[in-house]
Amino acid sequence: MTKIVIILMLTLFFNTANAQEDFIAQRERMVNMQLIARDINDVATLNAMRRVKRHEFVPESMRPYAYTDGPLSIGNGQTISQPYIVAFMTQELKLKPEHRVLEIGTGSGYQAAVLAEIVDSVYTIEIVEPLGIQAQKTIKYLGYHNIKTKIGDGYHGWPDKAPFDAIIVTAASNEIPPALLDQLAEGGRLIIPVGQSRFHSNLVLATKENGKIKTKKLIGVAFVPFTRNKE
């Protein structure tokens, strides 16, 4: 091996190491400035946001912006949500380590990874096949063994894996799909953007107590519309 080759390999190694250290620093700033400085105080959520490598869930061209305070395009007309919104929705679910969670709208897989850092198992459904396939690859590459993925219409949930302690929907719907409420465990919590305007909907929290559903509006948000298969 020539000296030039050795120098090039060492340069690549140190550049890669420096880049990874920089991403760690960016994640810490994201947590401190975008989350803690606002109203995110759940320790499990904050630790998950520190650990999950958001830059691995966005296209190469978007990586310099991976930890900025906003959504980013992931292709196919879809986005990865703003870190604050990911953390806010996660915190509102009040997750425990033994929980089973259903996610509708895998997207890049980032939200699923955040959930997987906290709970026992995550089941996630994506209707856009190219995104679902890429998310599966990313999840496998990063070693998340407690995430189960499926490509399909999430409107009907994942009945053979129900009930779920928590359900999260990452696309705006005109209603809360009835099947998701049916699959919510007693005492469970469901969070979903309701209102299909591309520019505004409301995050709604639904809870199941004694078999009855109670809903509460939380904050205004902007999400891509809920996509369904044509029937």
How far apart, in whole angstroms, are the C-alpha atoms of residue 224 and residue 98? 30
- Count of all residues that appear for the chain in the document: 231
Say if residues 181 and 190 touch (Cβ distance below 8 Å). Answer: yes
Which residues are 214's β-sheet partners?
207
φ, ψ dihedrals at 83, nearest 5°: -50, -40
Q: Which residues are catalytic?
A: 81
Q: How many CB atoms lie under 10 A from the CB of residue 198? A: 10
The answer to whether 184 touches 167, Cβ cutoff 8 Å, is yes
DSSP H or E segment with residue 151: strand 147-151
CB distance 37 to 26 below 8 Å: no
DSSP SS3 for 2: coil
